[in-house]
Structure 1
Amino acid sequence: MSNVGQLETDFYQSNYTIDNQEQSYNDASAYGDLYGPGEQQASGQSQPTPLVPLEMLTTASYSGLLFQPASNSEYYSQSPYIDSFDEEPPLLEELGINFDHIWQKTLTVLNPMKPADGSIMNEMDLAGPVLFCVTLGATLLLAGKVQFGYVYGMSAIGCLGIHALLNLMSAAGVSYGCVASVLGYCLLPMVILSSCAIFCSLQGITGTLTALVFIGWCSLSASKIFISALDMKGQQLLIAYPCALLYGLFALLTVF
């Protein structure tokens, strides 16, 4: 039994004293001062935070209203995005629609003897050609002929053929959009012919001669524009012949 009592005394005996407990408390208070009062309050008992009036939270320099930010005019005046909006081109110019160029091209087609400006004619402007194609289909419709499919189909196939021919004849080459633009603008005399077919019949000698005149008008204007845009001097008749074949198909739709 003495051995058992001695074993229990040795087992429960410790070197921890009251002095060590006071030293650990002093160390804890020193760590609390090091990390600030927030740690002491977190380690101790939480105390209720008193309510602070809203007027004390607002600073004296802020003169605006709540939930309404003050306007900063200096930021918007110095922002590069505001200046970039002013420097952007108009929407019609971005879409490639220039009414001045459309008017100049229309006058060039109406006057076959007027010299064409190659810099303007070498643009892929499809606003005028689409307008003239729709107008041609509308005038044929008023004459009792629903030929929209033939107008669009012959226009696409004709542009492909003239595009291939011009690329073989010219050294510089030409794009499909430029060919479609020129042929579409030169369709304007056919629109005038189809407008005449609304009020009078063209099935006769007079109508046939009138159609031949308009075919020559369209082919002459188209060949003039092509030789000025592609610098193909002395080859106007070679270009006018396939153009006359193409516009002859539109004349057949108009007369018959």
Structure 2
Amino acid sequence: MSNLEQFDPDFYQSNYTIDNQEQSSNDSETYGFRNQQVSEQPQPASFVPPEMLMPSGYAGQFFQPASNCDYYSQSPYIDSFDEEPPLLEELGINFDHIWQKTLTVLNPLKPADGSIMNETDLTGPIIFCIALGATLLLAGKVQFGYVYGMSAIGCLGIHALLNLMSSSGVSYGCVASVLGYCLLPMVILSSCAIFFSLQGTFGTVSALVIIGWCSLSASKIFISALDMEGQQLLIAYPCALLYGLFALLTVF
């Protein structure tokens, strides 16, 4: 036994004593008592009724913004939307003006409205050019390239001539618009070529009448839009040369 007591201190040495064990047990009891006090304290309510948060003068509903009619009535954006023109008019497509220009071309004796004719409206000219090419195609003539080529070159020539003759000047889009609308009688001639041949006396006379019709309508519109009174025959002559090329395509 004495031997065990002799080697016991050498076998394992530690700084932990009985006093430390008693102190740790006291600390754990104190910590548990504090947790019990904290758990017994009343916790704040996590849910508050909406009636307590809602002001007394509020009469609306939750999650729904109250509509303010005065704000929308006084908003400048509403007035700007109402004053905006239609989409087709912004794109330069006005069916009323297209119809008036078409009637002006079909009736050479009708006076032209210069304010309407002085617009760069290419909707009608493109339609009439496609219609001319389509009717020539139905007659067995593939002439789309010639139609577009002569139209572009002819518009350049007439544009240069009118700028030399008029003091105010004219835009290329206006010239192309007027010459394109006046191409409508030539579409009628090419439609007749689908059903019977124009290579004869009747076809020649019909082509001359259509050329005069197109050139007089174009010259009438140009003198009305550019205030060139007394110069209709001077403008009609180069227009007749241009429409004569289209007549050659149609007849031959």
Q: TM-score range by the shorter chain?
A: 0.7 to 0.9
Equivalent of residue 53 in structure 1, options 37, 48, 52: 48
**Pairs aligned (count):** 210
Give the match's secondary structure for 1:156.
Answer: helix
Q: CA deviation at 1:164?
A: 0.4
Q: TM-score, normalised by structure 1?
A: 0.74
Alignment of 1:159-198 (within 5 A): 159-198=155-194
Equivalent of residue 216 in structure 2, options 212, 216, 220: 220
Q: CA deviation at 1:214?
A: 0.7
Q: CA deviation at 1:103?
A: 2.2
Unaligned runs of 5+ in 1: 1-46
Rounded to whole Å, the distance in 2 between the matches of 1:218 and 1:163 is 17
Amino acid at match of 1:130: I
Q: CA deviation at 1:66?
A: 3.5
Q: What is the aligned partner in structure 2 of residue 208 from structure 1? A: 204
Percent identity over the alignment is: 84
Q: CA deviation at 1:74?
A: 2.4
**Greater Cα shift, 138-147 or 243-252:** 138-147
Alignment of 1:39-118 (within 5 A): 50-55=45-50, 56-118=52-114
Q: CA deviation at 1:49?
A: 5.3
Rounded to whole Å, the distance in 2 between the matches of 1:75 and 1:220 is 58
Equivalent of residue 143 in structure 1, options 139, 150, 161: 139
Q: CA deviation at 1:53?
A: 1.7
Unaligned runs of 5+ in 2: 1-41
What is the root-mean-square deviation in Å for CA atoms of aligned residues?
2.1
Rounded to whole Å, the distance in 1 between the matches of 2:77 and 2:226 is 42
Q: What is the aligned partner in structure 2 of residue 249 from structure 1? A: 245
Q: CA deviation at 1:50?
A: 4.4
Q: CA deviation at 1:186?
A: 0.6
Q: What is the aligned partner in structure 1 of residue 225 from structure 2? A: 229
